[in-house]
Chains A and B, each alone.
Chain A
Amino acid sequence: MRIVVDLTRCQSYGQCVFLASTVFRFHGEEALEYDYTPDDQLREQVRWAAAACPVHAITLDYLDEQPETVSQPERGGGKV
């Protein structure tokens, strides 16, 4: 899956670190770092983290927001 965090909006509340600690972490006291491509097994954790962010700074790829049963179109090249 793919995510991005708007680090201008992020205020380092740390809810995401608490809910998905292998994806989000603090580097120093206030500097959030994160994995842009968490393992698909972490999808539920990351969705919780995004939903729990008090400033809604976490964006998931629209394909990762859809139910698992939807078959995913191929990525890369041509029309996407």
Chain B
Amino acid sequence: MTSSHPSLSNGSTNGRVVIVGASLAGLRAAETLRAEGFTGQLTLIGDEPYEPYDRPPLSKAVQAGWISEEHTTLPRRREIAAEWLLGAKAAALDLSNRQVQLADGRRIAFDRLLIATGTRARPWPDQEQAALDGVFTLRTRDDAARLHARLTMGPKRVLVIGGGFTGSEVASICRELGLPVTVTERSATPLAGALGQAAGTYAASLQRRHGVDLRCNTTVLALEGDAYKKLRRAQLSDGDELDVEVAVVALGTLRNTEWLQGANLAADTRGVVCDAACRAFDADGVVTDDIFVAGDVARWPHPLYDGGLLVVEHWSNAVTQAETAAHNMLASAATRRAHKHLPSFWSNQFGVNIRAIGVPTFADTIVLTQGSPEERRLVAAYGREDRIVAAVAANAPRSLSVYQALIEARASFPPELHASDEPAELHPLPAGFPKHGHATHDPGAASTGAGPSTPEQRVEGEALKLLDPRVPLGAPPLMTQHANEIGMGKRSLLQEVHTGEMRS
């Protein structure tokens, strides 16, 4: 149907709604549509063969063996009477004919569309090495099941490539299981990409205290298999060669936008641009009426962050943005709502509950405001230009609501709290966020530039080399005796990686 049928366009409670992406955002949007009176045809398209399930436990309780990955299916808030096309990958969007084309050739017609295709794990850059038995990524239920099965076999050592939240959580579980684990992180600390290096120093001490062999400022140059294509060794940029049987590639995520190429939407590797009402922009910067975006794949302007387009890969953002998108699919101009959710996330690792609110990566300064690392309980606030923009708490889950109010009120930084556990003096420090692409993990929430039609920066030269997670930062490490022994073939690989040439 086209706009010549105004009764079926935005605001109507009938017609055909198609949701591409059958995970948390897709499910919550479907429930909201029905809850708000949508009586038309509702179709959910998902590339995985499963009903929507919850991902956070996949790197925690599932790996620990406490719950099975099959038991992570999300509860339904209500009946949604939807047609489910599961195991069906969307291959293209044909806006002129109002159809989603599936990889198997089927065409699914819609009047209104919600794009909630999310992200996938960033793979190891060398395909042959990535295919070795023992090399894993962790994003889906199937990924989690494969990794858990292998961890229960008691590998001699696990290598975690990338010290972001997923990598750190896997390392934590490995230590709980009594497995030796090495974590490599290209920036100076774990979690630096999400929380900055000042906070990352605390994360590093947690890891080391729990027996993790943490190698910062270090990359993995190559993964090596035996004659049976089983992972046996990893070559590290610090010159070390590790015997490993399992490697978990935790290099962050890629946004699932390839299927939108040529669809004339403002979509690229950074995500799909939408306005605060979750309406997608087309490639000319014109907002659409009936194409909506929600969840990890969305880029939208948040009023608290200077209009920069935020991308947020958090659970609660997927839920609230999906609810807003679904509401607005049925809304009139008078009842339309803005998505103003303050980003918020949690992680459990090494016995510590970490929570953050706001966008830490927007900050330049951090200050410890409550508790201390010695007490294993602390809160730190993030500031930019004398304004508080985020906060992080370790083992202090009930403290952040105060900070949320300060962030939303654009309160001054350092904040005035008058808390009983405040340090005698506040010592603001540089937050120490690595440059874009320097950490071998994702920020989780970040501002990605303004304006729906701002082109992606062309990355070339030295900057392009740094997007390869094998390339160490700074000067190439000295060739140690050990590295010299590994032979000409491998040495040429090392040199190739150091000079940053991209391998297919």
Residues of A within 8 A of B (CB): 2-4, 6-13, 27-31, 33, 35-37, 59-64, 76-80
A12 touches B316 (CB 8 A): no
Task: Tell me whether chain B's interface is mostly helix, strand or loop, or mixed.
Answer: loop
* B398 within 8 Å of A (CB atoms): yes
A80 touches B82 (CB 8 A): yes
* B81 within 8 Å of A (CB atoms): yes
B348 touches A28 (CB 8 A): yes
State A2–B251 Cα separation when bound (angstroms).
Answer: 32
State A78–B352 Cα separation when bound (angstroms).
Answer: 42
A10 touches B66 (CB 8 A): no
Specify which chain B residues have a CB less than 8 angstroms from the CB of A78 in the assembled complex. Answer: 83-84
| Smallest CB gap from A29: residue in B | B395
Task: Tell me whether chain A's interface is mostly helix, strand or loop, or mixed.
Answer: loop
B72-80, B130-138, B158-166 - the one binding chain A? B72-80
| Smallest CB gap from B316: residue in A | A8
B55-63, B268-276, B423-431 - the one binding chain A? B55-63
* B51 within 8 Å of A (CB atoms): yes
Which bucket holds chain B's interface residue count?
35 or more
Partner of A62 from the list B77, B83, B353 (CB cut-off 8 Å) is B77
Specify which chain B residues have a CB less than 8 angstroms from the CB of A59 in the assembled complex. Answer: 75, 77
State A69–B355 Cα separation when bound (angstroms).
Answer: 41
Shortest distance between the CB of A33 and any CB in chain B (Å): 5
B314 touches A3 (CB 8 A): no
Shortest distance between the CB of B121 and any CB in chain A (Å): 21
Which residues of chain B (182-223) have a CB below 8 Å from chain A? Answer: none
A6 touches B316 (CB 8 A): yes
Shortest distance between the CB of B69 and any CB in chain A (Å): 10
Shortest distance between the CB of B314 and any CB in chain A (Å): 7
Given A3-B75, A80-B82, does the pair A8, B314 have CB atoms closer than 8 Å?
Answer: yes
Given contacts A11-B398, A12-B397, 5 further A-B pairs with CB under 8 A are A6-B319, A27-B61, A27-B348, A31-B348, A63-B76
Specify which chain A residues have a CB less than 8 angstroms from the CB of B355 in the assembled complex. Answer: 8
Partner of A29 from the list B76, B79, B351 (CB cut-off 8 Å) is B351
Interface string of B368-379 (1 = CB under 8 A from A): 000000001000
State A69–B26 Cα separation when bound (angstroms).
Answer: 30
State A61–B71 Cα separation when bound (angstroms).
Answer: 14
Shortest distance between the CB of A27 and any CB in chain B (Å): 6
A62 touches B79 (CB 8 A): yes
Partner of B352 from the list A4, A28, A37 (CB cut-off 8 Å) is A28
Could you jot down 27 A-B contacts, CB within 8 Å?
A: A2-B73, A4-B75, A8-B344, A8-B355, A9-B316, A13-B398, A27-B60, A27-B348, A28-B352, A28-B395, A29-B352, A30-B353, A30-B395, A31-B348, A31-B351, A31-B352, A31-B353, A36-B57, A36-B73, A59-B75, A60-B75, A62-B79, A76-B51, A78-B83, A78-B84, A79-B81, A79-B83
